[in-house]
Copies of this chain bind each other. A is one copy, B any other.
Amino acid sequence: MPVSIRDVALRAGVSLGTVSNVLNRPNQVAEGTRERVLQAIGDLGFVRNESARQLRAGTSRTLGLVVLDIANPFFTDVARGVEDVANDAGLAVILCNSDDRPAKESAYLDLLAEQRVQGVLITPTADLSPNLESMRRRGTPVVLVDRRASGPGQCSVAVDDVLGGRLAADHLIERGHRRLAFVGGSSGLPQIQERHAGVVAAVRERWGDEEALTVFAPSVLTVETGRQAAAQIVGMPAAQRPTAVICANDLLALGVLQEMTRHGVRVPEECAIVGYDDIDFAAAAAVPLTSVRKPRRELGRRAAELLLDESAEGHVHEQIVFEPVLVVRESSMTRRTSSRADRTA
């Protein structure tokens, strides 16, 4: 039943090597022969066996992408960027979802190692898995995505999240807000910690201390936990309740927005909201969300490019850091009655 290159050779009346040449160096084969072989391939419905190619070549034509949460549109956008580049290079992408769980992440890394992927793109869970280090030692390129490499020994593509947090906080403070909340505080993820740090830095600079900043620390960053945080905020006495909320990602922000609305708290008049990532749903929310935009697709693209480059000679590890941009939309358009609707892009 399975038809191999040998069957094709037999049918076309040529040797096995010639069939291989037709497939890989067609111009080295005389036209008549080539056509006879192609005919045989068509007749028999021959399909190359990628495993055998890989075995011979020593490496596969695939690349692994491990993300924290496949349900977060941020990561699907990154994935598309990766796909763009990978496809052009003739590579397939194995997309793995670690769910922010080290055990799952580790299992997927093993799997990718066994597949002999050309490289791994990963947004790691808080602690860098030992598997990552051993992959690199074994010679598999690894590029960190949305996370800065700790040393110069590896590539990474990240975003300046301290700046992002700062942008969000500065914007709100300039708009006249005097009490802020940050939702997403204590997650072990460095990205989140940096956003937090940026907010804190801005608040400190302006106000001298952090007393007017309330921090909420949901365990995971989802719409649901955003809702829970908002419920807490709404329950605070009016005199202490923050007038603006900065969320560590847009999922949280959407949850906050929904819960606020449900409680009759008008956004942005009574409470402004700023999200993070600027996923498509942020602009599509019924109160379009101000958000810190990261070049999502570009992030994936550049990461994939670095990965490809890493296999080349003379590669030097690179730590790319993108600058985020604040996109102001309705959810923070309040106070400071100024006429200018500033939209940064």
Closest to A140 in B: B47
- In the complex, whether A198 has a CB less than 8 A from a CB of chain B is no
Q: How far is the CA of A261 from the CA of B257 in the complex (A)?
A: 15
- In the complex, whether A151 has a CB less than 8 A from a CB of chain B is no
Query: Which of B1, B80, B93 sits near A71, CB closer than 8 Å?
Result: B80
Q: How far is the CA of A50 from the CA of B58 in the complex (A)?
A: 11
- In the complex, whether A284 has a CB less than 8 A from a CB of chain B is yes
CB atoms of B137 and A45 under 8 A apart: yes
Q: How far is the CA of A114 from the CA of B61 in the complex (A)?
A: 11
Residues of B within 8 A of A2 (CB): 58
CB atoms of B97 and A94 under 8 A apart: no
- In the complex, whether A30 has a CB less than 8 A from a CB of chain B is no
Query: Which of B71, B94, B258 sits near A285, CB closer than 8 Å?
Result: B258
Residues of B within 8 A of A281 (CB): 223, 254, 281
How many interface residues does chain A have, given as a range? Answer: 35 or more
CB atoms of A114 and B47 under 8 A apart: yes
CB atoms of A45 and B138 under 8 A apart: yes
Q: In the complex, what's the smallest C-beta–C-beta distance from A119 to chain B, in angstroms?
A: 15
CB atoms of A70 and B79 under 8 A apart: yes
Q: In the complex, what's the smallest C-beta–C-beta distance from A84 to chain B, in angstroms?
A: 11
Query: Which of B49, B71, B77 sits near A280, CB closer than 8 Å?
Result: B71
- In the complex, whether A232 has a CB less than 8 A from a CB of chain B is no
- In the complex, whether A37 has a CB less than 8 A from a CB of chain B is no
- In the complex, whether A115 has a CB less than 8 A from a CB of chain B is yes
Query: Which of B60, B73, B223 sits near A284, CB closer than 8 Å?
Result: B223
Residues of B within 8 A of A70 (CB): 76, 79-80
A89-124: CB near B (< 8 Å → 1, else 0) gives 000111111000000000000110111100000000
CB atoms of A49 and B45 under 8 A apart: no
- In the complex, whether A54 has a CB less than 8 A from a CB of chain B is yes
Residues of B within 8 A of A52 (CB): 51, 55
Query: Which of B97, B261, B280 sits near A286, CB closer than 8 Å?
Result: B261
Q: How far is the CA of A137 from the CA of B44 in the complex (A)?
A: 12
> Contacts A258-B288, A286-B258 known; A60 to B51 CB distance under 8 Å?
yes
Q: In the complex, what's the smallest C-beta–C-beta distance from A281 to chain B, in angstroms?
A: 6
- In the complex, whether A287 has a CB less than 8 A from a CB of chain B is yes
Query: Which of B45, B138, B255, B280 sits near A47, CB closer than 8 Å?
Result: B138
Q: How far is the CA of A55 from the CA of B287 in the complex (A)?
A: 55
Q: How far is the CA of A111 from the CA of B96 in the complex (A)?
A: 18
Q: How far is the CA of A230 from the CA of B77 in the complex (A)?
A: 25
CB atoms of A92 and B92 under 8 A apart: no
- In the complex, whether A83 has a CB less than 8 A from a CB of chain B is yes
CB atoms of A80 and B97 under 8 A apart: yes
By a beta-carbon cutoff of 8 Å, the part of chain A in contact with chain B is 1-2, 45, 47-52, 54-55, 58, 60, 70-71, 73, 76-77, 79-80, 83, 92-97, 110-111, 113-116, 134, 137-139, 223, 227, 254-255, 257-258, 261, 267, 280-281, 283-288
* 7 more A-B residue pairs beyond the given contacts A50-B116, A80-B97, A94-B95, with a C-beta to C-beta distance below 8 A: A47-B138, A55-B55, A70-B76, A71-B80, A92-B94, A92-B96, A257-B286
